[in-house]
C-alpha cells in the first residue's frame, strides 16, 4: 500500500492534469462506467465531517473522509479542510493507497468549474468576479482562466483585507488585472461569477447578475451553506454535478425547500454536458448556473491519476496493514 503526503500529491499533478482526470471521470459516468452515490456527513461543534465515495467500474474505488472547520485558520493555524483518500482495487478490494485529500479536493473542485465554464460561459467573456478570497477562491480563478481569456477580475470577500491580499497575490501569480471589490454591486459587470464562501445566508441575488452571466456556485457543500438566492436559482439554466447530492446539500436544497423550484428545473448534469448528450447554453442571454457540491467521482478520478503517476515516479512510502 502506498502512502502519499500532500507534498507528494502536489509534485505529481498540475492543474491541467486534474482537468483531464476529472473530465475522464465524468465521461465514464455518462456511459455507465462509474458510480458516485451522494455524500454522507454530520456536524460537530465548530465544524463538520463528510464522506464521499465512488467507483470507476473495473478499475478503482476511492473513499474520502474530510473534516471542515471554518474557524481553523484564525483559531488554530490549521487548514479549513483536512482529510484522507483511501484508494483500492475495484476488482478485488486490495488496498492501493492512502493519500492526503487537501490538494486533491482543492484542485478537483476547480477542475469541475473549468469543465462547466467551457460549456456554460460565453466564449467572449473577459470579466470575472470571485466571491471568496480563500484557498478555493484562488483555484477557482485558475479554473476560470483555463476556460476563457480573462482581462479583468474582481474579488469580493466579507473581510476587505483578505480581498486586498488576494488581488495582489493573484495579479502577480497570474499576470491578470485583479482588483478588490468594496461591495457586490460590481458583479453586474462580470460575465462569470464564482461564489466560493462559507456563507449560510444567500447573498447573490437576481439584481446582481446580468443577462448572459455564468455563475459557478461552489461554496454549498453541506446543508447549512447557502450562497444563491432562491429567486435567482429559479431564473437560471441549471447544471449540477449530482442531482441527488445537490438536492441534499447544494444550493438546490434551499431552492427546493422554499418551493422556488422542483428537481425538474435542473437542466443537466455535468456528465451530460461533458459527453455532449445535453447542450449547455441555449442563448447568449441565458443566465447559466453550475451547482457544484463536489462528488466522489471527482475524487476517484483524481486520486487514481495521482496513484498511477506515483507508481511511475517511485513516489511515496510503501507500508502494509498486515
Q: Pick the closest to residue 169 from 192, 146, 184, 153 (CA basis).
A: 153
Rg (CA), the chain: 19
Start-end ranges of CATH 3.40.50.720 in the chain?
Answer: 112-294
Burial of 1 (C-beta count, 10 Å sphere; 0-12/13-18/19+) = middle
Burial of 93 (C-beta count, 10 Å sphere; 0-12/13-18/19+) = exposed
Q: Residue 322 has what pLDDT?
A: 80
Q: Pick the closest to residue 296 from 88, 20, 37 (CA basis).
A: 37
Rounded to an integer, what distance in angstroms lies between the CA atom of residue 102 and that of residue 209?
31
Q: Pick the closest to residue 231 from 156, 273, 289, 183 (CA basis).
A: 289
Domain 2-105+297-318 has CATH 3.30.1780.10: yes
Q: What is the pLDDT of residues 40-74, one digit of tens each?
A: 989 899 999 999 999 999 999 999 999 989 899 88
Q: Confidence class of residue 223 from pLDDT cuts 50, 70 and 90?
A: confident
Q: Residue 270: enclosing H or E segment and its boundaries?
A: helix 270-274
Per-residue pLDDT for 221 more than 90?
A: no
Start-end ranges of CATH 3.30.1780.10 in the chain?
Answer: 2-105+297-318
Q: Could you say which architecture CATH assigns to the domain 112-294?
A: 3-Layer(aba) Sandwich (3.40)
Question: In the chain, pLDDT over 90 holds for what percent of residues?
Answer: 93
Integer angstrom CA distances of residue 139 from 63, 130, 156, 165, 166: 23, 10, 15, 15, 12
- The pTM of the full predicted model, rounded to 2 decimals, is 0.95
Q: How many CB atoms lie within 10 A of CB 321?
A: 6
Q: How far is CA 6 from the centre of its chain?
A: 18
Q: Residue 70 has what pLDDT?
A: 86
Q: What is the pLDDT of residues 287-318, one digit of tens each?
A: 999 999 999 999 999 999 999 999 999 999 99
Q: Please, are residues 109 and 267 in contact by the beta-carbon 8 Å criterion?
A: no
What does the chain come to in residues? 322
Which cell numbers in the block locate residue 84?
A: 484522507
Integer angstrom CA distances of residue 1 from 33, 67, 193, 266, 318: 25, 23, 41, 41, 6
Q: Residue 66: enclosing H or E segment and its boundaries?
A: strand 60-68
Q: What is the pLDDT of residues 2-26, one digit of tens each?
A: 999 999 999 999 999 999 999 999 9
Q: What is the pLDDT of residues 163-199, one digit of tens each?
A: 999 999 999 999 999 999 999 999 999 999 999 998 9
Amino acid at each position: 500500500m502506498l502512502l502519499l503526503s500532500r507534498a507528494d500529491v502536489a509534485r505529481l499533478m498540475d492543474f491541467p492534469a486534474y482537468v483531464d482526470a476529472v473530465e475522464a471521470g465524468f465521461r465514464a459516468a455518462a456511459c455507465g462506467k462509474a458510480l458516485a452515490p451522494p455524500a454522507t456527513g454530520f456536524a460537530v461543534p465548530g465544524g463538520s465531517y463528510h464522506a464521499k465515495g465512488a467507483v470507476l467500474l473495473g478499475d478503482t474505488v476511492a473513499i474520502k473522509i474530510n473534516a471542515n472547520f471554518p474557524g481553523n485558520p484564525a483559531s488554530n493555524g490549521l487548514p479549513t479542510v483536512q482529510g484522507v483518500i483511501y484508494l483500492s482495487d475495484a476488482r478485488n478490494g486490495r488496498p492501493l493507497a492512502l493519500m492526503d485529500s487537501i490538494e486533491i479536493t482543492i484542485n478537483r473542485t476547480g477542475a469541475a468549474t473549468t469543465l462547466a465554464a467551457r460549456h456554460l460561459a460565453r466564449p467572449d467573456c473577459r470579466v470575472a468576479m470571485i466571491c471568496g478570497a480563500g484557498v478555493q477562491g484562488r483555484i477557482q480563478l485558475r479554473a476560470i482562466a483555463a476556460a476563457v481569456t480573462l482581462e479583468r477580475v474582481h474579488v469580493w470577500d466579507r473581510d476587505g483585507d483578505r480581498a486586498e491580499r488576494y488581488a495582489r497575490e493573484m495579479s502577480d501569480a497570474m499576470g491578470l488585472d485583479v482588483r478588490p471589490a468594496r461591495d457586490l454591486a460590481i458583479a453586474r459587470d462580470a460575465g462569470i461569477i464564482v461564489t466560493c464562501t462559507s456563507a449560510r445566508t444567500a447573498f447573490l441575488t437576481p439584481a446582481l447578475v446580468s443577462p448572459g452571466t455564468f455563475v459557478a456556485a461552489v461554496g454549498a457543500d453541506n446543508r447549512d451553506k447557502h450562497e444563491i438566492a432562491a429567486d435567482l436559482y429559479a431564473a437560471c439554466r441549471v447544471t449540477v454535478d449530482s442531482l441527488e447530492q445537490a438536492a441534499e446539500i447544494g444550493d438546490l436544497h434551499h431552492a427546493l425547500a422554499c418551493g422556488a423550484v422542483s428537481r425538474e428545473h435542473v437542466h443537466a448534469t455535468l456528465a451530460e454536458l461533458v459527453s455532449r448528450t445535453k447542450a449547455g447554453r441555449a442563448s447568449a442571454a441565458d443566465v447559466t448556473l453550475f451547482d457544484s457540491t463536489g462528488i466522489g467521482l471527482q475524487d476517484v478520478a483524481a486520486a487514481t491519476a495521482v496513484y498511477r503517476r506515483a507508481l511511475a515516479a517511485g513516489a511515496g512510502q510503501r507500508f502494509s496493514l498486515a
